[in-house]
Chains A and B, each alone.
With several copies, the nearest count.
Chain A
Amino acid sequence: MHDVAVMSYGEAIREALDDALAKYPEMILIGEGVPDPKNIFGTTQGLREKYGSERVLDMPLAENGMTGICIGAALAGMRPVLVHQRIDFALLSIDQLVNNAAKWHYMFNGQQQVSLVVRVIIGRGWGQGPQHSQSLQAMFAQVPGLRVVMPTTAGDAYQFMLDAIADNNPVLFIEHRWLHPIKGEVDKTRSSAELVGASLLRRGNDITLAAFSHMSIEALKAATVLARHGVEAEVLDMRCLTPLDVDSVVRSVAKTGRLLVADCAPEMASMGHQLLSALFQSHSQRLRQAPRLIAYPNHPVPTSHFVANHYYPGAEEIAAKVLDMLDRQPLKEAVMLELQNDLAKDLPDRSFTGPF
């Protein structure tokens, strides 16, 4: 029996939080703005009214302290979900996340556990600038003991949020802000993905696109247009960072022989390196040509949209790189034309009028 509904990524998260609050009396949902009228871009709407202000609450501006407090509550049997509207703020709490949350179960030899979910939002646009739109996922993904996921579809967002809350480990749940309005199918009866594995978004034989978070959307856009021109790209959504599902990529490149990785982070901090390095050590012979990585430049993003708009690679850059790799440059002009649209590059969609 299926129970499929179409909803946005943001709604899927709200739905998962709602269902989890109903299911786990020990769950609490806390964060700056959680119960305010804008309720984390709508993702916590109505939850305080439904579950009470003891379980759904705001908090002081004290990221490290509140993370530690949530860890302590988890040790006492609670399941806190802590929200940061921007991953940049989570930097203040990295001490508690790395020194305590990630290590506690190991360090105390399995006698205690920290079932904590930390929701963080990454993103771009409308001049959020150098301190308010970083892409720090690799900084967390390298920490043994943290689970780090960045689901791309509404369906995964729902399922991963439920799985993360059920999980007895600290989970960093990373949402790209621009995914929030994107609709998808949510199947509440789907069984748990257990926070592992890449997801196959599109089949193709010519090249593998392994993409992270919002870059999977861009990769899909590129693949759709490329297909009209006879180039079939396979798109893998690398939705779990730890562990990284290298095997799925290996299987895919065994078929396609070509790999382009697309990450939404600066090159120096790209999880793509981890993926490529793993492939290089064990499966480089499966590739017909050297793989490529598309990522952001190695500097902060400036605020001015005049330049920031050129900071972020997207479907066009992916398609261009694919055509280069396949030596199909003559297709470029037509493909680029089809990929163009008139939406300003610093807006997630037409409904947005700023500021974030």
Chain B
Amino acid sequence: MAQATYDLKQLYYQMLRIRRIEEAIAARYAEQQMRCPTHLCIGEEAIAVGVCAHLTTNDKVFSNHRGHGHYLAKGGNLPRLLAELYGFAEGCCGGRGGSMHLTDLAAGFIASTPIVAGTVPLAAGYAWAEQMKKSGAAQGCASVARGRMPEATAAQGCASVAGGTAPRMEEVGRSRKPEPRMPEAANVVVIFFGDGCFEEGVMHETLNFATLKKLPLLFVCENNQYSVMTPLVERQPNRDIYKIAAAHGLQAMNGDGNRVDQVYALAQAAIANARAGLGPQFLELYTHRWPEHCGPNEDDKLGYRRPGELAAWKLRCPLLQARQGLLDSGLSHEAELADMETALVEELEQAFQWAQQGSRPSIDSMGRHLYA
């Protein structure tokens, strides 16, 4: 199997990009133009980036309410994400989903939805279908995104919809992450979810089926130790999540979700195993969310975190650690990192500009697409 090149600079850049995007969304949220529940992933960027670095567009990702990072790390179109937050027709979901319903089929990001654990079995089902297609059990079966793609929202349509002033979407839309090449290996599916999600019964049902069928599926548990404002200790006994997955028969590992190099290495092994037909893999990665559960603000003052907890996690910022690594090792230098920032400022400005010029979905369109 071909091996993706380890490139801390790229990983850092991807994390930085997600951070700056989330910050920009937070900064603009108070304008009351993005009128939908929005769960930011600031502080948790390393997981999405370290895992998605190993995925091609043929690999698929499913995600949850806190999905911006997963979407972006998988190469999801940024302007269309923003347009979605604004409720515009050009949004990745035509404005129908907002922050909690993202999709970019071209990028292999199938869907995020906000019913906790709702997408977990879907990811397994998708992986199962991939496996059947590969084994020939379901030969001749129709292509993935069989739904009619409405013209106004088709990815290729972006630039034209947005009119002349907006930059071409091909340029700003896609994350610039390099694609690992692995031509003949099996596609994998990745499902991202939280520690709270692990409490839902359907998780257990999915672990069982995934192992039974040896699915090419990677479970990534982002254990940020909170479900909304409720700490783990009020919801789960003192034992390891990944060990339950291991008892189900998955290959399961845990690690520091704030160290992108560690996430990268763990994901590399897990995804290689999944591609090689060794069955489903499970990663439990520890991290911490900085902003409030839902919304643009910090909420440390509410007092549900232990005193000093947030501060300690901020010292362990995934970006800070990667940046230090880059500088210490000489892989990069301040000027280059500053250039990254500048490039991102520009990308973001263009993306917001495009997104904010979106068009309102017509009221007549509201009833469309109930049935395929």
Contacts and interface: CB of A to CB of B under 8 A. Distances in A.
A105 B371 contact: yes
Interface in B117-170: 117-118, 120-130, 132-133, 135, 137-150, 153
Interface in B319-372: 360-363, 365-372
A145 B372 CA distance: 9
A310 interface: yes
Nearest to A59: B235
A73 B126 contact: yes
Nearest to B36: A127
B113 A109 contact: no
Interface stretch (A29-37, A154-162, A231-239, A325-333): A29-37
Given A25-B140, A129-B96, A169-B371, A305 B35 contact: yes
Given A66-B121, A111-B149, A303-B87, A60 B135 contact: no
Interface stretch (B192-200, B262-270, B283-291, B309-317): B192-200
Contacts of A66: 121, 205, 209
B118 A100 contact: yes
Interface in A154-206: 168-169
Contacts of A129: 36, 96-98, 100-101, 114
A304 interface: yes
Interface stretch (A88-96, A245-253, A282-290): A88-96
Interface string A63-106: 11111111111111110000000001100100110011000011
A110 B363 contact: no
Contacts of B62: 72
A277 interface: no
A356 interface: yes
Contacts of A114: 372
B171 interface: no
A321 interface: no
Contacts of A304: 87-88, 91, 95-96, 98, 360-361
Contact of B144 (A75, A128, A131, A298): A75
Contacts of B121: 64-69, 71-72, 96
Interface in A288-317: 297-299, 302-307, 310-311
B208 interface: yes
B230 A69 contact: no
Contact of B130 (A76, A106, A356): A76
Q: Which label, helix, strand, loop or mixed, suits the secondary structure of the B interface?
A: loop
A112 B35 contact: no
Chain B CB count within 10 A is highest, among A38, A297, A356, for: A38
A307 B91 CA distance: 14
B116 A310 contact: no
Contact of B228 (A36, A54, A76): A36
B172 to A, nearest CB: 21
Contact of A72 (B36, B128, B139, B234): B128
Nearest to B30: A353
A18 to B, nearest CB: 17
Nearest to A302: B96
Interface residues of B, number: 93
B366 A111 contact: no
Contact of B294 (A68, A131, A355): A355
Interface stretch (B14-22, B103-111, B249-257): B103-111
Contacts of B196: 60-61
A256 interface: no
Contacts of A131: 100-101, 113-115, 118
Nearest to B116: A61
A110 B368 contact: yes
A126 B369 contact: no
Contacts of B126: 72-73, 75-76
Chain A CB count within 10 A is highest, among B105, B121, B147, B150, for: B121
A355 B366 contact: no
Nearest to A297: B367
Contact of B103 (A78, A112, A115, A128): A112
Given A33-B230, A36-B304, 12 more contacts: A25-B141, A59-B235, A60-B208, A64-B202, A66-B121, A78-B129, A110-B372, A131-B118, A168-B371, A299-B367, A307-B361, A354-B32
26 contacts: A24-B141, A33-B229, A37-B229, A57-B234, A60-B235, A61-B117, A62-B200, A64-B205, A65-B121, A65-B202, A65-B205, A68-B120, A72-B62, A73-B129, A75-B125, A78-B129, A78-B141, A111-B93, A111-B145, A127-B35, A129-B97, A131-B100, A131-B101, A298-B370, A306-B363, A353-B32
- Of all A-B residue pairs in the complex, the 9 with the closest CB atoms, nearest first, are A72-B125, A68-B121, A65-B205, A127-B36, A26-B141, A304-B87, A109-B94, A76-B129, A304-B95
Interface of A: 24-26, 28, 32-33, 36-38, 52, 54-55, 57-78, 88-89, 92, 95-96, 99-100, 105-115, 126-132, 144-145, 147, 168-169, 297-299, 302-307, 310-311, 346, 353-356
